[in-house]
Structure 1
């Protein structure tokens, strides 16, 4: 059968320029998260963008500023953000890139229910195996649902993309076009970690038990936590993102996945963001499975892991515990992503713990990130009823099961000392103290 699949492969192979003939005016093109974005296809779309009209590219966390991300040609091809990244944040703040609010875990169902219409899929993919399958291993996320609904699936096949286990495989019979490239998969390094991040990480790691299963968000503080977990034992991984921090925990022996009671022995993720070393580690590794986000981030499924720990960053927290993790006031910065998915999963998990982490201040200690009320227009990401632990470099506040007054007192206690007096006065005005 492999010879048959090779003949089909050759029939569907084309240049990135020719693949644009499969795109029609008015199409919605779905692109995977982060490094799953296909550079040759998106470059070709950018070069030909003025020949199209009304084409939309939808994606979480684009990493490259392709030519189509251009305010002068938005009538031809425009970007719809599911989660802003550096390439799209300026356009979102200026108003010529729109945003689609959603929980990461619900995006596949929104596609399947046609609340998000998908006409075309552009995706990076591994080389085809002997059975005619490609792996969408770098960004499985919502892309597998999009594949099932699209008129045309166009893959950028690259030998540097790992072939992984899990529900991330697409058969050649479903493919409309194949474009080959061999450039290295984009690498995303670990964020810089300073003393504030290290202090926060220490507070978190102190109450993470051996045998816990981890979900680790992206950012300097979650990575600071990871760096301080090397002395733990039998940790497991059930996360949305697999990165180099997790790889380091595997290498030092802290992660074994042995104590997981849901999918023991297996790490589960939905997208990858890291180094070439990480991508090589993923290739045909029986310990790792890449699954769609409605599986990895489903709070019910993730919570089947006892001692589930979620670690996610935020930008601002008010005295009731509401978290704004995606905007500065009304100005967008990122997106909802999977933070709420895993906070709720950890709350459901037996002996689970969810951590929201943030430095106590911003702008050279001139602004407190713990505030009486969120800034006007702030996008509430994680609500007061979901938040459990909030951690700054000054300590840890446990909020679940606490009254409004107890919450205010606990959060003031982990604020920067310079702001505790004015926060206390504000709490009195709000009848919280």
Structure 2
């Protein structure tokens, strides 16, 4: 039989790695996140099993022995210290957990990463349950651990050398839709400051990956906000743009994923950023208790949301995975403000991203505070389901779908219920899309 492996990572791998493994038929199971087109196709075809998991949970499940022990850990490092500990590269992820728990370790020394990267990492591993101490972080800039990952040298069965830069992130320039979304969010923050709910430094920011989140962060450059901080998973181009603009004081995350241009800017002048960034293990960057303690403002992307505020961020038409939930659930469930963004319609407006009922639920209405599209913003705080529906339809929906959604909602209200629905019609928009190529019911 051909060799097949279960592959566990921190999050996604560089472009091509997942795809090559999937194409070769080498993967039987993958977790907890991916972004590769070929692997996505294999998952949706049922050829690879995929566990779509909150990123904070993977290390916990391994430490608690609720997953099989890792047989072999392949860890990318910038350097190996004299005491056997290792210097991570541009991602910490779950490397500290893998180093501690794996039966065997292979080290990949990537000479493309400057050894001067040492010092931007803060490696802290929480104690086992039930006697786990409070993680002593009260601000994004707090460093509480060591600069390297401890490793038992007897586990190391091989060392290989590579000289390969990270796969560059695909960063799209803001377009009219993403610019409009950013404008709505910034106006909302300005109003919160005017009301005395927030200061001009806001609360620590978290933003998911992708062009929408990147555009939102870029929008802060020309805003009145200052002395911003970030407590997130990934540092993107916009993070370093904000630092260079003097808007962002400090950014904490688990990895760096930037474009080729930004990569050169950062690593050719690493000392410029050394005191302004830190990379932590994923079970620290995404731990629910810290997210709640620090009062994070979480901004993540939705595939679709419904008239009551439930969000689908992972599956198209309820069945086909796109990437995964990543850390959006870790942050949405525990944030000071949980914001989800998407365009109101796409594919020539054949698809509405606001529907009667989401075809897959990742974030329930209970975890969602603010919804934003290019048409407007819906503040759902303190609203009952019927109130939410009216605000969402009024503020977020594309004009081609507004009357269609109102008709559905009004007829559902005639039938009654705390959260009115017409179950026989709830997914009719998705069915119409499958059969006719559009969610518009008159076509």
TM-score, normalised on structure 2?
0.76
Q: Which moved more, 1:61-70 or 1:394-403?
A: 61-70
1:365 to 335, 339, 349: 349
2:66 to 115, 128, 145: 115
SS of residue in 2 equivalent to 1:169: coil
How far off is 1:176 after superposition?
A: 3.2
Question: CA distance change for structure 1 residues 279 and 79 in 2, over 3 Å: closer, same or farther?
Answer: farther
1:218 to 209, 213, 234: 209
Distance 1:335 1:278 in 2: 28
Distance 1:154 1:243 in 2: 28
Give matches, 1:150-161, under 5 Å: 150-161=102-113
RMSD: 2.2
Distance 1:70 1:289 in 2: 33
Distance 2:91 2:24 in 1: 29
Instruction: Tell me whether 1:354 sits opposite 2:338 in the alignment.
Output: yes
Post-superposition CA distance 1:136-162 (Å, at most 9, x none): 242322232122110111121113333
Distance 2:268 2:369 in 1: 36
Give matches, 1:7-22, under 5 Å: none
Give matches, 1:253-402, under 5 Å: 253-257=246-250, 267-274=251-258, 275-279=263-267, 285-306=274-295, 308-328=296-316, 329-346=318-335, 352-375=336-359, 378=360, 380-402=361-383
SS of residue in 1 equivalent to 2:389: helix
1:204 to 161, 185, 192: 185
Report what 2:138 is aligned to.
none
Distance 2:302 2:186 in 1: 18
- The number of equivalent residue pairs is 363
Report what 1:411 is aligned to.
392
Q: Which moved more, 1:337-346 or 1:406-415?
A: 337-346
How far off is 1:73 after superposition?
A: 3.5
Q: Which moved more, 1:421-430 or 1:138-147?
A: 138-147
Question: CA distance change for structure 1 residues 130 and 247 in 2, over 3 Å: closer, same or farther?
Answer: farther
Q: For the Cα contact (< 8 Å) 2:31–2:53, is it kept in 1? A: no
Post-superposition CA distance 1:236-271 (Å, at most 9, x none): 0111111111000000000114xxxxxxxxx32112
Report what 2:148 is aligned to.
169
Q: Which runs of 5+ in 2 are unaligned?
A: 124-146, 190-198, 414-418, 421-443
Report what 2:15 is aligned to.
64
How far off is 1:277 after superposition?
A: 3.0
Q: Which runs of 5+ in 1 are unaligned?
A: 1-49, 258-266, 347-351
Question: CA distance change for structure 1 residues 171 and 293 in 2, over 3 Å: closer, same or farther?
Answer: closer
Q: For the Cα contact (< 8 Å) 1:165–1:286, is it kept in 2? A: no
Question: CA distance change for structure 1 residues 312 and 282 in 2, over 3 Å: closer, same or farther?
Answer: farther
Q: Which moved more, 1:177-186 or 1:335-344?
A: 177-186
How far off is 1:430 after superposition?
A: 2.3
Report what 1:263 is aligned to.
none
How far off is 1:93 after superposition?
A: 1.6
Q: For the Cα contact (< 8 Å) 2:32–2:58, is it kept in 1? A: no
Instruction: Tell me whether 1:423 sits opposite 2:374 in the alignment.
Output: no
Distance 1:70 1:372 in 2: 36
Distance 2:212 2:4 in 1: 40
Distance 1:92 1:197 in 2: 29
Post-superposition CA distance 1:316-370 (Å, at most 9, x none): 1011111000011211111111101111232xxxxx3221000001211112110
Distance 1:183 1:97 in 2: 28
How far off is 1:279 after superposition?
A: 4.5
2:44 to 83, 88, 93: 93
Question: CA distance change for structure 1 residues 132 and 146 in 2, over 3 Å: closer, same or farther?
Answer: closer
Distance 1:56 1:248 in 2: 38
